[in-house]
Amino acid sequence: MTGRPFARPVMALLLAVPVPALLRAQGSHEGPAAPVPLATRWGIAAGMGVSYADAGDVVDVVNSVVDYSDRSQRFRAGVEFFGAVVVPLSDVVSLKLDYAYLLLSYNGSTPFGPGDFTVKAHLPTLVLQYVLVDEGLYNVKGGAGVGYHFGGLSEQYGTVNGRFNGSGAGGLLELEANTALGDHLFAYLGGTLRWDFIGTLTDDAGRTAGVNASGDAATLRFFSAGARLGLSYYF
């Protein structure tokens, strides 16, 4: 049996190799790598949503012009388009620059014909977010932020074609969730509460948009609650 003299040295060599080294060499016993927490990754997001807003002064202005049967209620559903950039600060804290464009529309009949009243607001906000849940494939974050906002009211009826603008501070509370569609692409779901203090609405000549129910110059102050749907991308 000429093969036996060679078998003994080979067996001795195999037994001399530590078992962990063999397992590392095979690699088949290692589990999948843990997902990287989203809180440690830069991200961007974009989408649209619905906001239910109470712009009381604007409603007072509209109702002072339209027929009684077309008077608007305090709350009005509007559309919001948003974009955001997310910068991680730690494993649980991130900073987000959020921009939203809010559009509200009020319509009704006036003594001078159909009336169209439109609110447009630009809402850039710096938000500090805290991670509530982060499993790599999905996360949930809560945040609060402030910003300086700009908005305007346009009105068209009969021969009237007016545009009024204002600016002021605004605050935001939000809750957002991201769930994986791929390694980098995520579905974005969010909810927002806003308190905006955009001041007196004036035109280029300094004229105000009208007065509210208290007789004060109309502003674009409003409260809103909204829901968002979009996509986020984490690098």
How far apart, in Å, are the Cα atoms of 228 and each of 28, 48, 191?
Answer: 43, 6, 6
Q: What is the pLDDT of residues 70-111, one digit of tens each?
A: 899 999 999 999 999 999 999 899 999 999 999 999 999 998
Task: Inform me whether the pLDDT recorded for 2 exceeds 60.
Answer: no
Q: How many domains does the chain have?
A: 1
CATH of the domain at 150: 2.40.160.20
Strand runs labelled E in the chain: 43-54, 75-88, 93-110, 113-134, 138-157, 160-180, 185-200, 219-234
Mean pLDDT of 164-172: 98
* Model pLDDT, residue 37: 76
Residue 20 within any structural domain of the chain: no
Residue 173 within any structural domain of the chain: yes
Task: Inform me whether the pLDDT recorded for 32 exceeds 60.
Answer: no
Residue 33 within any structural domain of the chain: no
Residue 98 within any structural domain of the chain: yes
Of the ranges 3-12, 81-90, 162-171, 210-219, which one carries the lowest mean pLDDT score? 3-12
Residue 189 within any structural domain of the chain: yes
Provide the domain limits for residue 200: 46-234
Q: What is the pLDDT of residues 34-48, one digit of tens each?
A: 567 777 899 999 999
229: pLDDT confidence band, cut at 50, 70 and 90?
very high
What global pTM score does this model have? 0.82
Residue 19 within any structural domain of the chain: no
DSSP string, 195-227: EEEEEE-B-TTS-BS-B-TTSSBPEEEEEEEEE
Task: Using DSSP, state whether 80 is helix, strand or coil.
Answer: strand
Residue 185 within any structural domain of the chain: yes
Task: Using DSSP, state whether 26 is helix, strand or coil.
Answer: helix
Task: Inform me whether the pLDDT recorded for 180 exceeds 70.
Answer: yes
Task: Inform me whether the pLDDT recorded for 67 exceeds 80.
Answer: yes
